[in-house]
Structure 1
Amino acid sequence: MTPSAATALLDDSFPVPVSANRDSRRDITRDMGVRSLQMGITALQEASAAFEGPLGEAFERAVELILGGKGRVIVSGIGKSGHIGRKLAATLASTGTHAFFVHPTEASHGDLGMIARDDVIIALSWSGETAELSDLVGFTRRFSIPLIAITRNGASTLGRAADVLLELPRVRESCPHDLAPTSSSLIQLALGDALAVALLERRGFTSARFRTLHPGGTLAARLKTVQQLMHGADMPLVGEDALMSEVLIEMAARRYGCVGVADGAGRLVGIVTDGDLRRHMGPALLDTPVRTVMTRDPITVEPHKLASAVLELMNRRLITAVFAVDDGRPVGILHVHDLLRAGIA
């Protein structure tokens, strides 16, 4: 084929309507987007309904198989299924299941050596007849390595070989030709996420462990705890027998906009804020006992509480600082500016 013929073929393959005016084209384009989304929603609903039958039972077996495995989860697929597989492996690995992706073609050229007998294989192929997966599938059968298949065709080579078959419903692609993997990729992705979430819940995967595996970026900031951000050594504190003159000196020195009040046993019994000062402003304020001005039973948090949850609390209660307490005793103070500096917003 000559270069000019190839160019003509490409041009003919992507006709652009020019007869409609700009506003009409905008409306048509928007309708196309909505139609695609609606078809995706329909596909997800069909996949969800399939859980009432064999798919749900197979899903349970797949989760138990992975939980019972002593090795890792190896995910494989090619084309769009391969892209979905890479995402599944990454999600599993980040949520407590040791997993990685092996490209099926590379597997045929030596990467089968990455797979051990104790591993579990998840193979994705919409048709179930992907030729590139044949060596990988054969390897699992030869060495009795558990194989989970995600496909729409249970009667396919992959479906028949699998120990656990996750057979998805045949859905219509949102592509107008029903060819480009769109709706099918969407439900593969959703099923993979469902596996990962079920596994993390069964493993009791906590937010603390999640934070360990996600040390960077905005997500890491959201997973910081009060203890990681609070100030401990310079807490603004006075005793409950103090006068307001002492409170004002402490408030000015610490610059948190508040002062905590502790009893003789060191327990936090009150707080004095800028609002308390305004409400009690008068000539005799300096000689007034702090217990007369303070707000009793102040809002407090635990040191292990997520900082993102504290920010939500501050916004809801309209406060700018909060004490962290352990067994009623203040161990630190956290200001809203600390949260903002940490990227928690």
Structure 2
Amino acid sequence: MNRFSIAGILTGFVLFVSCKEKKEQKDDPVKKFVLSSTMPVTIDTVKTCNIDNAITLSGEVSFNENSVVKIFPRSSGQIIESKVTLGDKVQAGQVLAVIKSADVAGNYADLSSAEADIAIAKRQLDNQESLYKSGISSEKDYTEAKQNYQKTLAAKQKIESVLNINTGSNATSGGTYSITSPINGYIVEKRVNTGNFIRQDMGENLFTISNLKNVWVWANVFEADIPKVKEGVSVQVTTLAYPNKYFSGKIDKVSEVLDPANKALRVRISLDNSELLLKPEMFAQVLVSNQLDQKAICVPTKALISQNGKEYVIVYNSNSDMKIAEVDILKTTGDKTYVNSGVTEGQRVITQNQLLVFQQLLSQ
């Protein structure tokens, strides 16, 4: 075999291998993205909804005045120990402050004097009773001794009642008494510190305690929007601290007069706050829902993905069958977004980790 034949055989072999590799590459399909179990997602359904003609009100979080206790001093004196700070959680019966009071010390001095009077009156009564039974003393003297003894008992009882009213059961003979919490809750106001002098007739409370598990939101409604706001209307509340979290509630009170300062009507919303996320004095936005007769396709607002000035959602059919759909937004109201096109009723969209899925689908 000459060298030209060997070269031809080698050339043919190389061409064969090359063609085979190309064929194998051509037959190898593009690998599709499949959702794995390590990427949890949440699925929601596209619906047809009544369009909400919602309005947004500004407001602030406040205490629920029906579950707030304001604590005032019972007797004048000086704060010798303040045991709590603003925001502390307290239990019913817990000591909040200890006060040293000249009035309480005086009451205990009066109590000691009353107890001495009782002891004297009791001895006199016993003597008169013995003399009366022996026929030496008259019944009148014996009756007067009994009445005098009863008066001393009544005087002591009066002093004890005053002490109980002014100090509760936490006073000592040294003139100190404790202020305790009447309920379980949180210290939401504190106006005193150790060393402060207080008076019984002072106008300000020492502490304010609230359980904070239910709060009020007060919102302002301007004149043009008053017809859209009524008791019982559903609302959603958001705050600067939790901009993506919606707190659902209803308007439970509408004022009958406008605030003369800003010409706005005040409305009150009661909200469940079992997670204690809402704090008094927080700024809040209140979205008031007003449903119209018009309907439109709506998707959860959290399903939207913004990219290059356009809005998309991920339509989910199965873990291996997902697609990107561009949507034309009509309007967004709270947790609902109304769309003109892009999805149809009954389709399912991803509302959790949708951005990660979006990036994976783009990279295919």
Greater Rg by CA: 2
By percentage of residues, which structure has more helix? 1
Say yes or no: TM over 0.5: no
Query: Which category of TM-score, normalised to the shorter sequence, fits these structures?
Result: under 0.3
Q: Which has the bigger relative contact order, CA under 8 A and spacing at least 6?
A: 2
Q: TM-score, normalised by structure 1?
A: 0.20
By percentage of residues, which structure has more strand? 2
